[in-house]
Amino acid sequence: MNYTIPQRIEQMTPYEPITGEYELRLDANESYRSLSEDQLSRIVEGLRTLSYNRYPDPYAVKLCRAFGDLYGIDPKFVTAGNGSDELIALLCGTFFTDRDTVAVFSQDFSMYRVYCETYGVACKVIPKREDLTIDVDAALEFIQREKITALIFSNPCNPTSIGLKAEEVRRLVSQTDALVILDEAYMDFWDQSLLSEVERYENLIILKTCSKAIGLAGIRLGFLIANEKITKLVRAVKSPYNVNLMTQLYGEAVLSDREGVRSAAKELIQSKWDLEEKIRSLAREFPEEIPMVYPSDTNFVFLRAKHGKEIFESLLTESIAIRYMGDYLRISTGSKEENQRLYQALSKILSQLSQKGGEQK
Ligand SMILES: *Cc1c(COP(=O)(O)O)cnc(C)c1O
């Protein structure tokens, strides 16, 4: 046989989501809100009129217009994707050669590295500061020294929940020739977006998703926003019918409901404050167990926990799923009632853990 599996993918294993049914899903940063009755009835109406036997609009024109209207940008800078995951994969698979080196921060969204590895793109890691913030000067210096040709990062960051101010991002983008792929998946929860100025830069691509604040993780919809030159290339390399008919309809219906989108984001931010305050009060009560709660600019809270694994597993037995990441835990906000249930479970677990710790001394 002439064919061998490429070495770089031979050892790869399929993505393993959390399995089992849990009453509280606070592990994936999704919105706890689903569609409103009003949005749903408009969608159901629309579903009757679609031409299922025809291919969808390859450029999702109406959908991109709704996105542009919502965020105040010209749709000629907007390309839709089958989740922003597809767009990240597309960029990693087509925008780089074997002379390029991509940089990512540690810690950041793990899929950036996964896709670089999948497509055999060289990837280097820029460390963050001790407090998990980004040092722009150190990053610029790293980019220069390591001959980095592209940088990809999330702002605000998943998993740290910390945002980098627009002024700092602007400095980063304008002081390098490297391509900057700025993933604003959580920017609906903060106010430091570069979206409105994207066409001013030759080297900036912004990614957005409908999976978080917009509450449409299930339909798979993301957007890529860049100047006309980059947009033309992205449209040339994407698969023609990457966003299906139903996703275009759902997306258009929800994104054009501006008031609905804004009030949903507001409510999620309120719930996040509520969750953050609850976690901070537990950190004050159990400072050894929770030595650090990071300031959140997102819809989730990131914390350092001494017994992260025990906490994660105990919560699962209470039918509550959160994200366990070594020394850290990441907890997405639920509704106020859900946050209260998490708080009570967590409070019980922490007092048990700290009693045990006390006995051992
Ligand atoms: C959730 C998330 C995404 C994925 O978005 P999809 O549109 O659901 O593929 C992208 N980037 C970051 C940083 C995320 O947290």
Atom number in ligand 1 closest to CA 209? 7
> Do residue 349 and residue 241 come from a single domain?
no
Same domain, 235 and 91: yes
List, for residues 27-59, the tens digit of each pLDDT value. Answer: 999 999 999 999 999 999 999 999 999 999 999
Ligand 1 centroid to Cα of residue 332, in Å, is: 14
Torsion angle defined by CA atoms of residues 286, 290, 291 and 292, in that order, rounded to the nearest 10 degrees: -130
- Residue recorded with tokens 């912004």: 206
Q: Which atom of ligand 1 is nearest to the CA of 221?
A: 7
Q: Which among 218, 238, 256 is the end of a domain?
A: 256
Report the atom number in ligand 1 closest to the C-alpha of 86.
9
Distance 45 CA to ligand 1 centre (A): 29
Domain presence at residue 50: no
Report whether pLDDT(361) > 60: no
Angle at Cα 58 formed by Cα 202 and Cα 149, nearest 5°? Answer: 25
Q: Which residue has the higher pLDDT, 19 or 131?
A: 131
211 alpha carbon – ligand 1 mean position (Å):
7
The mean predicted confidence, pLDDT, of the chain is 96
Q: How confident is the model at residue 360 (pLDDT cuts 50, 70, 90)?
A: low
Residue 169 banded pLDDT, cuts 50, 70, 90: very high
Cβ(217) – ligand 1 distance below 6 Å: yes
Whether the CB-CB separation of 182 and 155 falls below 8 Å is answered with yes
Task: Report the CATH number at residue 189.
Answer: 3.40.640.10
Indicate whether 70 and 202 sit together in one domain.
yes
- 308-344 pLDDT, tens digit per residue, is 999 999 999 999 999 999 999 999 999 999 999 999 9
Same domain, yes or no: 115 and 129:
yes
Domain with 94 in it: 55-256
- 265 and 168 within one domain: no
Q: Do 80 and 104 belong to one domain? A: yes
The answer to the question of residue 182 being in a domain is yes
CATH number at residue 344: 3.90.1150.10
Q: What is the pLDDT of residues 116-150, one digit of tens each?
A: 999 999 999 999 999 999 999 999 999 999 999 99
Neighbours of 327 (CB within 10 A): 13
Q: Of 201, 224, 256, which residue sits at a domain end?
A: 256
pLDDT value at residue 357: 75
- Is the pLDDT confidence value at 204 over 70? yes
Q: Is the CB of 209 under 6 A from ligand 1?
A: yes
> Which pLDDT band holds residue 206 (cuts at 50, 70, 90)?
very high
**Contacts of 300 by beta carbon, 8 Å cutoff, 6+ apart:** 26, 29, 158, 159, 161, 272, 330, 331, 332, 333
* Same domain, residue pair 180 and 293: no
> Is residue 64 domain-shared with residue 196, that is, in the same domain?
yes
Asked if residue 7 lies in contact with residue 313, where contact means CB atoms within 8 angstroms, the answer is no
Among 217, 238, 256, the domain boundary falls at 256
pTM here?
0.97
Does residue 284 share a domain with residue 324?
yes
